[in-house]
Copies of this chain bind each other. A is one copy, B any other.
Amino acid sequence: MPGKIFSLPESVARFVPDGSSVALGCALEPAIPFAFAHELIRQGRRDLELIGPISDIAFDQLIGAGCVRGVTAAWIGNVSAGLAHAYRRAMEQGVPRRIEVHDHTNFTIAQALLAGALGAPYLPTRTILGSDIARANPTFREATDPFSGDRVLLVPAIAPDVTVIAAQRADADGNTHLWGPWGVSQEAALAAKAVIVLADEIVERAVIASDPNRTIVPGTKVAAVVHEPGACHPSPLQGRYRRDHDFYREYHAATRTAEGQSAWLAEWVTGVPDRAAYLAKLGPRWVALRDYGRPAAEVRY
């Protein structure tokens, strides 16, 4: 059904109104849909609730651009370069605005999304009992396991309005192959009200159906498929391109001040019309990151 193929701007305009809860960066360090985050900034989205485990610098950019009302996450920083300056400014100084944070760990956010995917009200866990995270996040509850009498933490389900998945390939119906770490991507997709897929490549249905174990989310959950090559830079996409470590370092250095943040966004986000222009701006640096890796051993169905 070509009805599910949208341009990136259309997918944001149609499926992500102001105030939406949006899960992205769910594969942790790789396959972060930066192109989608940038389009949210270009369209001036406001009052978003961001959901994701670590987000690397994608959440920081959205926070710095003033798009964000709240964050439900385990970690917000710059994995290879240090702290996230825009997140710091928002929390420490309320610049550009105050945001509300629900602290999680990688395990609790995975459990919250898994509960959402399963349609379960919550999952019980033994992690972070006694920590201040368990106390600071008012959505958690402590309870007694009725089988053993032990203390457990109940992590309530999270069902994002939209989950954004970046992947190597999808068909026009949204049946999507992702390889490399899945992180919490599958739970986040199955838990969501709508899924938007940013596919490096659009393929025939037969390609997906030749290897259905590779599918991370079936088309029946997907609202929009966007053909967006290079959508993840500076994060990597397995078998397509490597991580641009320098880009993270440069972002860290450039965004130490609010003015620097604005200048960075003006250069790399609002100053480029779309992803193709962004990749062209990267130029040979982008070409040098391409890495097609080695083929997987044959499998027959």
Residue of B nearest to A157 (CB): B147
In the assembled complex, the Cα of A141 lies from the Cα of B123 at a distance in Å of 15
Contacting chain B: which of A32-40, A60-68, A114-122, A251-259?
A: A114-122
Q: Select A213's contact among B121, B208, B214, B293, beta carbons within 8 Å.
A: B214
Q: Select A122's contact among B145, B156, B299, beta carbons within 8 Å.
A: B145
In the assembled complex, the Cα of A118 lies from the Cα of B114 at a distance in Å of 11
Q: Select A297's contact among B146, B211, B297, beta carbons within 8 Å.
A: B211
| Contact residues, A228-259 vs B (CB, 8 A) | 238-239
Tell me, yes or no, whether A9 is within 8 Å of chain B by CB: no
Per DSSP, are chain A's interface residues mostly helix, strand or loop, or mixed? loop
In the assembled complex, the Cα of A147 lies from the Cα of B124 at a distance in Å of 13
Tell me, yes or no, whether A148 is within 8 Å of chain B by CB: yes
In the assembled complex, the Cα of A213 lies from the Cα of B293 at a distance in Å of 15
Interface residue range, chain A: 35 or more
In the assembled complex, the Cα of A242 lies from the Cα of B17 at a distance in Å of 49
Residue of B nearest to A296 (CB): B211
Query: How many protomers of this protein does the assembly include?
Result: 2
Report whether A210 and B121 are in contact in the complex, using a CB–CB cutoff of 8 Å. Answer: no
Q: What mask results when residues 269 to 301 of chain A are scored 1 for a CB within 8 Å of chain B, else 0? A: 000000000000000000000001111111111
Tell me, yes or no, whether A263 is within 8 Å of chain B by CB: no
Tell me which residues across on chain B come within 8 A of A300, comparing CB atoms: 239, 292-296
Report whether B180 and A301 are in contact in the complex, using a CB–CB cutoff of 8 Å. Answer: yes
Report whether A293 and B301 are in contact in the complex, using a CB–CB cutoff of 8 Å. Answer: yes
Report whether B120 and A123 are in contact in the complex, using a CB–CB cutoff of 8 Å. Answer: yes
Q: Select A156's contact among B118, B123, B125, B147, beta carbons within 8 Å.
A: B147
Tell me which residues across on chain B come within 8 A of A125, comparing CB atoms: 120
Given A210-B296, A299-B214, A299-B295: A147 in contact with B123 (beta carbons within 8 A): no
Q: What mask results when residues 116 to 153 of chain A are scored 1 for a CB within 8 Å of chain B, else 0? A: 00111111111000000000000001010111101010
Q: Select A238's contact among B156, B208, B301, beta carbons within 8 Å.
A: B301
Known: A141-B147, A296-B300. 16 other contacts (CB 8 A): A120-B124, A121-B124, A122-B124, A122-B147, A179-B301, A208-B297, A210-B294, A210-B295, A211-B297, A239-B299, A239-B301, A293-B300, A295-B299, A295-B300, A296-B298, A296-B301
